[in-house]
Every structure is written in C-alpha cells, then in structure tokens.
Amino acid sequence: MFSYLVNRVFQAVGVLLVVALLSFVIFNYVGDPINNMVGQEATLEDREELRERLGLNDSVLVQFLRFVANAAEGEFGISYQFQRKVSDLILERMPATLELVFVSAVIALAAGIGLGVFTGLRRDSWLSRFVLTVSLVGVSLPTFVIGILLIYIFSVGLEWLPSFGRGDTVRIGDWDSGLLTGSGWLAIILPAITLGLFQLTIILRLVRAEMLEVLRTDYIKFARARGLSRRAINFGHALKNTMVPVITIAGLQIGTLIAFSIITETVFQWPGMGLLFIQGVEFADVPIMGAYLLLAAIAFVAINLIVDLLYAAVDPRLRVSAQRGKGTA
Amino acid sequence: MTARPATGATSGTAPGTAGRLLGALYRGADSDLAYSFRRNPVVVTAAIVTLLYFFGAAFADWLAPHTPFDPSTLSLGDAEKPPAWIEGGDWSYVLGTDNQGRDIFSTILYGSRLSLIVGFSAVIFSVVLGVGLGVTSGYFGGWYESVVMRAADVQLTLPSILVALMVDGVARAIFAGTDIKTDATFAIYVLIFAIGISAWPQYARVVRSATLVEKSKDYVAAARVIGIPSWRIMLRHVLPNTMGPVLVIGTIDLALAVITEATLSFLGVGIPPTQPSLGTLIRVGQEFLFSGQWWITLFPALALVLLVLAVNLLGDWLRDALNPKLR
Amino acid sequence: MNGGAARALLDVRDLKVGLPTRRGPLAILNGVDLHVKEGEVLGVVGESGAGKSITGLAVIGLLEPPARIDGGEVWFDGARIDGLSGDELRRIRGARIGVIFQDPLTSLNPLYTIGFQLTETIRTHMDLGADAAEKRAVELLDEVGIPAAASRLGAYPHEFSGGMRQRVVIALALCANPRLIIADEPTTALDVSIQAQIIGVLKRLCREHGTAVMLITHDMGVIAETADRVAVMYAGRVIEDGTVAEVVRNASHPYSHGLMGSIPTIGARIGRLPQIRGSMPRVGAVPAGCAFAPRCPEVRDLCRAERPVMMDGKATSAACWQYSPRWSDTAAAAGGAAADG
C-alpha cells in the first residue's frame, strides 16, 4: 500500500513538473513579461534594468525554479487586461467555480450511477431503451447548446430560473458562497445541470456497460447458483465490482467538469475561473492562461490521486499486491 | 464474357483480382457487419443523415441560396427576418436571417462545411500522429516508447478541450499583433492543429498495445529473421491489425472534433468571425433569445446536434459491431 | 423408468433446450432423459458440446438467455421445478440443490472475503444469526479440509491457491445441506495432482451427508473412480445409462463403446489408442435419425431414418437400434461408416 502510494505521488509530481514547465514556457517566452509590467512607453534602459531586477537574465534553470517557488506561493504575476494580481483574481473567482463543479458532480454521479445500474439490470425494458437513447442524444449535445436550450425553456419561455449570474452570495471569510441563499440555489440549477449532463451520460453508459460485463462473470453465475437474492447479487456483488472502473472514469469526468466549466460559465455569465480564463485566451492574457493551466493540472492530479486511493479501498487484490510489493522491495 | 477467351492466357491476374474483389464485396454484403447495419433502422438513418451533410457540405456553393459571408450581398433591411412560415418571413430566407441580414440556412450549409473540414482534418492529424507514435513506440520500445507514453499520460491528465483551448490561446499570444493573426485561413490551421493535437494520445495507446500483441507473434519474428525491414513489417502486418479500433475511435472522435470546433467558436476563440461557423452563429444568436429571435441560435444548434448525433450513432454502432463481446 | 423413478431425487424427462437465432431456433438439447437417485453419484459424460453443462444449468434454471427450455419436465424431490418462477427456483438453488462450477478461480467474488460469502449464503437459506452462521462457516471450511479455518474467514479469494479455492466453492455448495449437488467439471481447471484431492473431498462429504451428486465431466477417469451410475451424452441426448462398471466394461452403445476404448489402461500394451472416426455433429446440424449414425460402424438404413429411443441393451440401457426387434429386419447399409468417414 505504502509503496503503491509513494509511486503514485511521484507520478503526480512528475506530471505537475511537466505542466509547470509548460506553464513557465508560456509565461516567459510566449508573452513578454517586460511589456506586461511597464507598458510600451518604457525606455530601453528601464527595460534592461527591470530585466535584471526580475532575474530574467539568470539561467533558464534558475528562472524555472524561481517560477515554481513563486507558483507554490500562489504568485503568478499581473494580468495584462485587468492590471491586477492574477492570484487575487483567481481567489475571487474560485468559490463560484468550485461550487458549480461540486453541485454538477453530485448530480452527475448520483443520477449517472442510478440510471446506469437501472439500465444495466433491466436492459430490455422500454424505459432502459428510452434512457439510453436520450443519453446518446445527451452525449451528442455540446455543453453550450444544452445551456442555451435550458435558458430558452426555463428562462425565456417559462421564466422560472435566472439565465445568468450567481444570485445573492454570502461572504464567509474569503469564500463567497451562493449555496446559502435561495436566489443562489435558483441561479445554480441551470448551470449545474448544463455542466453535469454530459458527464452524467458518460457515467451512465459506463456503469451500464460494466454492469452488463460483471453480470456475465462466473462469480455472478455462481452467486445465482448459491440462491442469493436478486438484491444481494445485483447490489452487493455486481455493483461493487463495477465500482473499480467507474471510480476511474468518474474521477476523470469530475476533472473534466473543471475544464468544461469554462463553457458553462461563458453561457451563463457565471463569475468563475473559467470565464476569467476564456477572457484570458481571448486577449492573449498570458499570466492568466499559465496560472489557470497550472491550477487545473493540480486539480486533476489531486483527483487522480484520490481515485487511486479509492481503488485500493475497493479492491483487496490491489491492497495485497501492494503489500507484497513492499515486502519484496 | 467475350473478353475472356482473349485474355485467357494471362487470366491468372485480371479475373483473379476481379474475382477476389467480387468475393470481398459478396462477403462484405453478407457479413455480420452489413447484417447488423441493415437490420438497424436508426443506424441506417444516421448514415443517410451523415451522407446528406457530406453532400450539403460538398455542394454548398450550389445549394445555398445566398453567400452570407460576402458583405456586398448583405442588407440590413433583411436583418432579423423570422423563418419563412412565420408572419413577416420571406421564402428567400427559409430559416430567417441574423442581426446582419445573413441567411441562416446558407450559413448552416457553409458552416457545416467548415465544421466537417476542420473536424476531418483534425481527426486525420491526430490519427497520423497517434498511430505513427503508437506503432513506432510499440515496435521499437526502449526510451523512445517511455517518452511517448509518458507524454500521452501527461496530456491525458488534462481534458482535451482544455488542451485545445490552451494551444489555441498560446498560438494567439504568439501571433498577437502580427499580420498572420488576422488571416482567417491561418486561424483555421491553428484550430485544426489545436483540436488534432488534443486527441492523439488515445490512438497512440490503442495502437501501441495492439502493436505489442502483434510483435510477440511468431510471424513477426520470422519476418525479422528473413530480413524484412521493420517499416515493412509495421506497414504490412502490424498496422492493418490496429485499424478496427482506430476506425471506431476516429468516428467518435470526428463527432468530438466537430463539437470542439463549435465550442471554441462559440467561446469566440475558434473560427474567425469573418467565416461561417455554427458555433459563432449560436453565440451571436444567444443575445437575441430574450428579444424573441430564437431562430438565429436554435436552427444552427439543431444542425450541429443532428450532425454530431448522426456521427455518434455510427461510431457507437461500429464499436458494438466490431466488438461482439459488448453486445 | 428403470424401476428407479419412484425413488428418483432428480428426474429429467425429455428435456429440450433451444436457442432462438436469426436463422431460426437452434436445438441444443434434443430430449434429455436422466435421473439421480437419493445419495447416488451420477456421472454425466460426453465430449464438449454434447450438452452436459447445459443440462445442469437447465435443471437449476440458470440458462443464459436467450437459451430457454423448449419442452420436457424436470422433477425434483417429487415436485416439478421447470417453469417455476425465478424466486421459487432461487429458493431451491443453494438450499436444496448445490452447484459447483468449473473454474474455482473465477467462481468467487474477488471483492469479498470468503467468510462473507459463506455466511451470506448460509443466512440466505438457513434461519441463523450472524454468530451461528459464522460458526457453521468455520465448520464447513474445516470439513472441506482448509487448515486453520477460523483464521481464514477474513481472507480474500486471491489469497488462496486454485485447489483451496475449489474447496471453498464446495463448502459454499454445501452451506445449506443440499440434497443434490450439481458439479460441472469441478476439477478440469485444476492441476492434475490437485484433481484427485478435490474429487476425494467431494466424494467423502457427499457420502457423509447422504448428498446425491450429478457429476458432469468429460474425464472418464474421474467417473470410473467416483460415480455409481453413468449417463453418456451425445449431441444433446443421453444415449446410454447404466452402472459404471457395466458402461466401462460392457458398453451397449457403439459410441460409449468407442469412448471407453479411448481410456488408456495401465499395463496394456497398445500402439495407439483407438479413436472414433469423424466428429460430433454441430448444434443445429444433427442428422434426422440417430445422431451417431454418420460415425457408427454398425449403421443401417433404419438408423438414418428414425431416431432410436432408450431400450435395454446388454446390461445397460442405450438409445441404439441394435437392441430393437426391428434390427434384424433392416439390412446393413452397404459400406457403412467407412464411406462416410
């Protein structure tokens, strides 16, 4: 278990270093950090002095290490378009995105696993076929189209739900929460469904496929032969065995939610990091792009690590082989 | 019939080839694949819809009643016209016009064409890159394989849409302020590159593992022993065995590439606004939803969804048909 | 039937199983007749594809759809059990009929401890509390010869060897003291050295508990050593039925005869084991008359025209026209099997 974990952590750090390097390259070579700081009017001497002061004349390795150290402290420089510290901008926007992703993830996981199990067990019922057909449509609907359709139906047509913004927020320390007010909940419904629907369909189809696969295995056949109740077989034996692959994909899908929140936030003018990022891309605002890339990578790597831990919790074979690995190492 | 006796002496090749072709066709029509295609009306419909899109894209110049992206033909007097069957509509603008008087139907035709061009180019780019890296890394192994597969791992940590956005954004930053940036054709190349590069790892992974399987078989060892060059073994024996999964991934990937293009355009960082694009049209139309001009956004959205759905259905069916275990 | 019908624990009559396909239904079992008496071990032998396993699955209602029972009857302990609802059958499975499958490596759920899987089965069928169920689980593991049983309850299947896992599977089949165990190739997947041990365990336990066994295998050696009676299957039917000694030494059906001929005997010097010419017809391509006719050295016109029913043979019963009074009326076909081979 321990060596397995160490191994995964090393991998995660490796991925982060590569992404940090990319991010560093974007910062230093794509944008011009001097222009960024002093604007076009500065004299050549001013620039040279600033270069020296910022350490841009140091070796690349030193610069990279400094970049990593700064990033570790949350220091990503100053946004071109907003003329503010990127770290401040991101901190302001982060709660909105995280709350949106959280609510979507809950929707996607709960509904995805529930419907996946149902369609896997009752594979020939008309309701399953219906759900599957709808889910295929769901996979084919681009996120922004889902958002627009929902706005058209629930905001323009029925006028039930707001089409943009977060509603009223409550400030707790550094965190602006929209989950404590009625208008906040109303505002999050459409964006959360929009963001979660695609992931929901992916998880649904995966759970169903795994369920069908597991139901064919010998141990399920043997469980039937032992005369266990249908409930015990389906939910005790089959579902647990589908969980290993489902955890992997579901974990990755939750990571994808963060990326797709860029689109959802654009459709609903949701004041989160995604909206900030897309503005960054539009205006070639390099510090914002680089910082977002690094933060997103950290989030994905963290999710992957959690997935690996969950793995070991579900599958005893992994626990033991990891222990053996430690024993012989 | 009459030609037969004449070529009788050399008939070893010609009728043989024709016969083989006929045989292959016959087997193809009688195969499980063809059977499962014929008996599945949804898949047949999807295939027809896909073909219609290809047709519409290929002949957009003839089929489209207007050339919506030629500013000289536009008149603001025709702006925001509703679809023809609604009060105030005009049959020369079947699906209505947008805020600048562009015909929605024509824009959909030209936009689908651009979507398909970008989609196909991106898929071909990622297939060539992914299959190439996959076969060679599987075949040669060593540090080369490690580098390729680790790169794939790192990239797969990030969702492809983010990779595409990032590549697109970096390209914008690099060419910010230069003339190139404003060149529409160049922007489309950047888009193809961004979408294509975001998808190669899955091909590389699948093809590499298939290559490893093939490589361990005796005939490859035998071919090596008798001195057949590596590239030939890969090309003639290993590659054909990986084509099934590549075809499946490629089909589903085409749908994804079309979605990604539309998404980037919708976000305002894809196809430049001077070119027809479904994503851009949907973006423009979103602002008009509240003032009642729903057609600007809903028709292009419908066109996009229909295309993606049809391609997805084909891909789904292909996967199930080529992998009987999943049925 | 054979005078044993009244005492038969399991009685399968003219069982037909079919598989609907796009080219019409495929008959997998073409009318299987067999019975198992209380406490006896019935060996069911035949080549792969003869329908042995399908018979076992059909009896306990575990056919994989779309395969289904198309006709015939299954009687167990005086009651008809084919056509029972899924839930009624479930209550028979595990409780009154235990099942052992071929591959112990895949029969156990990898994610649960064997203690969990045992107590789960025990408590499904017996009215026992958690402690009592656990006690019984330990006893069962003890009985099947798992050392330090009490300490292994918390172990996962992958921590056992193949042979040990099959012992666990036997313990699982015995959980609720069933009257009958259907063992489908219980030793095929195991190492040869382990096979004898497992058969030994199975035989001993069933004798001790008075449990009847339907032992499905293609291994005549296992049958000869274990079974009381043998049913030989060919192309979806039982074609011979008799005591082990008689079937092995004095088979009535030409197919069984050939099958027994292919058992190597220690000490007998023969250059090559005799083999039966040709191969068993594929499912769906079974000839109209006797299914064995194309390969039979004794074949006559009658065999090709009509399907023989079970009749008294030498010392066993066999589905072969040789033992019918009509045999002498029909002429030996010119050429016989040689022409077909």
Residue B42 backbone class (left: φ over 0; alpha: ψ -120 to 50; beta: rest)? alpha
Largest CA distance in chain A: 86
The tokens describing A148, both together, are 């627009």
- Tell me whether residues B161 and A152 touch, CB distance under 8 A: no
- Tell me whether residues B309 and A136 touch, CB distance under 8 A: yes
**Nearest residue of A to residue C56, measured between CA atoms:** A225
Higher pLDDT, C111 or A166: C111
User: Is B154 in contact with A301 (CB distance < 8 Å)?
Assistant: no
Please list the residues that pair with C332 across neighbouring strands.
C300
**How far away is chain B from the Cα of A173, in angstroms, using its nearest Cα?**
31
Start-end of H helices in C108-243: 114-125, 130-143, 149-152, 162-174, 192-209, 220-226
Best of A32, A144, A195 to substitute, by most chain B Cβ atoms within 10 angstroms, is: A144
**Nearest residue of A to residue B264, measured between CA atoms:** A263
Mean pLDDT throughout B175-203?
77
From CA C112, how far away is CA B50, in angstroms rounded? 48
Residues in chain C within 8 Å Cβ distance of A224: 62, 90, 93
From CA B266, how far away is CA B283, in angstroms rounded? 5
Please report whether residue C172 resides in a domain: no
Higher pLDDT, B133 or A69: B133
From CA C308, how far away is CA A314, in angstroms rounded? 56
**Residue B92: is its pLDDT beyond 80?**
no
Distance of CA C157 to the CA centre of its chain: 26
**How far away is chain C from the Cα of A221, in angstroms, using its nearest Cα?**
8
DSSP run (H or E) holding A154 = none
| Residue A7's pLDDT band (cuts 50, 70, 90) | confident
Residue A141 backbone class (left: φ over 0; alpha: ψ -120 to 50; beta: rest)? beta
Distance of CA C288 to the CA centre of its chain: 25
Closest in C93, C103, C176 to A218, CB measured: C103
The tokens describing C106, both together, are 């895949």
Please report whether residue C104 resides in a domain: no
What pLDDT was estimated at residue B124? 92
- Tell me whether residues C107 and A219 touch, CB distance under 8 A: yes
**Residue A326: is its pLDDT beyond 50?**
no
| Residue B123's pLDDT band (cuts 50, 70, 90) | very high
Higher pLDDT, C140 or A29: C140
**Residue B7: is its pLDDT beyond 50?**
no
Residues of C199-229 as b/e, b for ≥16 C-beta within 10 angstroms? bebbbebbeeeebbbbbbbbbbebbbebbbb
The tokens describing C300, both together, are 């006559």
Please report whether residue C47 resides in a domain: no
How many domains would you assign to chain C? 1
**DSSP label of A142:** -
Residues 258-277 of A with CB under 8 A from B: 258-260, 262-263, 266-267, 277
Candidates B320, B304, B314; CA nearest to B119 is B304
**Residue A72: is its pLDDT beyond 80?**
no
**Per mean pLDDT, which range of A171-175, A304-308, C70-74 is the poorest?**
A171-175
- Chain position carrying tokens 């009685």: C11
From CA C155, how far away is CA A298, in angstroms rounded? 37
Residue at C18: amino acid letter: G
Closest in B159, B174, B176 to A256, CB measured: B159
Cβ atoms within 10 Å, residue B136: 20
Please report whether residue C240 resides in a domain: no
What pLDDT was estimated at residue B121? 92
DSSP C298-320: T-BHHHHHS----EE-SSSEES-
User: Is C232 in contact with C259 (CB distance < 8 Å)?
Assistant: yes
Please report whether residue C115 resides in a domain: no
The tokens describing C166, both together, are 């099959």
**Residue A43: is its pLDDT beyond 90?**
no
- Tell me whether residues C90 and A317 touch, CB distance under 8 A: no
- Tell me whether residues A237 and C86 touch, CB distance under 8 A: no
Q: Which domain does C315 fall in, by range?
A: 293-341
The pLDDT tens digits along chain C (341 residues) read 444 444 688 888 888 888 887 777 788 888 888 889 888 899 998 888 788 888 888 888 888 877 888 888 888 888 888 878 878 888 888 888 888 887 777 888 888 888 888 888 888 888 888 888 888 889 888 888 888 888 888 888 888 888 888 888 888 888 888 889 998 888 877 777 888 888 888 888 888 888 899 999 888 888 888 888 999 888 888 888 888 888 888 888 888 888 877 666 666 555 666 677 777 887 777 778 888 888 888 888 888 888 888 888 778 888 888 888 887 777 655 444 443 43
Q: What is the ipTM of this complex?
A: 0.81
Residues in chain A within 8 Å Cβ distance of C107: 218-219, 222
Please report whether residue C326 resides in a domain: yes
**How far away is chain A from the Cα of C71, in angstroms, using its nearest Cα?**
22
Pairing between β-strand C212-216 and β-strand C317-318 as defined by DSSP bridges: unpaired
- Tell me whether residues A136 and B326 touch, CB distance under 8 A: no
Higher pLDDT, B233 or B16: B233
Residues 151-190 of A with CB under 8 A from B: 151-152, 155-156, 163
**Residue B73: is its pLDDT beyond 70?**
no
Please report whether residue C5 resides in a domain: no
From CA C330, how far away is CA C325, in angstroms rounded? 10
| A240 vs C: CB within 8 A | yes
Candidates A83, A27, A20; CA nearest to A56 is A27
From CA A297, how far away is CA A255, in angstroms rounded? 9
Candidates C148, C163, C153, C226; CA nearest to C197 is C163
- Tell me whether residues A145 and B294 touch, CB distance under 8 A: no
Please list the residues that pair with C8 across neighbouring strands.
C37
From CA A63, how far away is CA A66, in angstroms rounded? 5
Number of H helices, E strands in chain C: 13, 12
Average pLDDT, chain A: 78
First-residue to last-residue Cα distance in chain B: 45
Residues of A49-73 as b/e, b for ≥16 C-beta within 10 angstroms? eeeeeeeeeeeeeebbeebbeebee
**Residue B28: is its pLDDT beyond 60?**
no
**Nearest residue of B to residue A251, measured between CA atoms:** B157
Closest in A225, A237, A314 to C109, CB measured: A237
What pLDDT was estimated at residue B179? 57
What pLDDT was estimated at residue C336? 44
What pLDDT was estimated at residue B3? 39
Please report whether residue C338 resides in a domain: yes
pLDDT digits over B132-183, tens only?
888 888 888 788 888 888 888 778 777 778 888 888 877 777 776 555 555 6
Mean pLDDT throughout A140-145?
82
From CA C37, how far away is CA A297, in angstroms rounded? 68
CA B64 → CA B69, B113, B141, distances in Å?
A: 12, 12, 52
The tokens describing C43, both together, are 């060996």
| C108 vs A: CB within 8 A | yes
CA C337 → CA A50, C298, C318, C334, C340, distances in Å?
A: 101, 8, 20, 9, 5
Residues in chain A within 8 Å Cβ distance of B157: 15, 19, 255, 297, 300-301, 304
What pLDDT was estimated at residue B325? 44
Please list the residues that pair with A172 across neighbouring strands.
A175
- Chain position carrying tokens 């293009």: B261
**Nearest residue of A to residue B161, measured between CA atoms:** A259
| A282 vs B: CB within 8 A | yes
**Per mean pLDDT, which range of A205-214, B315-324, C38-47, C321-330 is the poorest?**
B315-324
Residues in chain A within 8 Å Cβ distance of B154: 14-15, 18-19
Distance of CA C309 to the CA centre of its chain: 20
Instruction: Compute the C-alpha angle B268/B270/B274, nearest 5°.
Output: 80
- Chain position carrying tokens 């278990």: A1
Residues 12-41 of A with CB under 8 A from B: 14-15, 18-19, 26, 30-31
Instruction: Compute the C-alpha angle B71/B76/B81, nearest 5°.
Output: 115
Candidates A25, A19, A24, A26; CA nearest to A284 is A26
**How far away is chain C from the Cα of A106, in angstroms, using its nearest Cα?**
26
Distance of CA B313 to the CA centre of its chain: 14
**Residue B26: is its pLDDT beyond 60?**
no
Backbone CA torsion sign across B183, B186, B188, B191? negative
> Long-range contacts for A315-323 (Cβ within 8 Å, ≥24 apart)?
A315/A244, A315/C110, A315/C111, A316/C110, A316/C111, A316/C156, A316/C158, A317/C110, A317/C156, A317/C158, A318/A4, A319/A1, A320/C156, A320/C158, A320/C159, A322/A1, A322/A2, A322/A3, A322/A4, A323/A1
**DSSP label of C282:** P
From CA C236, how far away is CA C33, in angstroms rounded? 10
| C114 vs A: CB within 8 A | no
Mean pLDDT throughout B29-47?
73
Q: What are phi and psi of B166, to 5 degrees?
A: -65, -50
* Secondary structure (3-state) at C183: strand
* Secondary structure (3-state) at A107: helix
Mean pLDDT throughout A46-63?
70
Best of B153, B154, B297, B319 to substitute, by most chain A Cβ atoms within 10 angstroms, is: B154
From CA C234, how far away is CA C255, in angstroms rounded? 8
Closest in A218, A229, A314 to C107, CB measured: A218
Cβ atoms within 10 Å, residue C340: 14
Q: What are phi and psi of C97, to 5 degrees?
A: -125, 115
User: Is A93 in contact with A238 (CB distance < 8 Å)?
Assistant: no
Best of C111, C120, C126, C166 to substitute, by most chain A Cβ atoms within 10 angstroms, is: C111
What pLDDT was estimated at residue C148? 85
Cβ atoms within 10 Å, residue A313: 12
- Tell me whether residues A297 and B268 touch, CB distance under 8 A: no
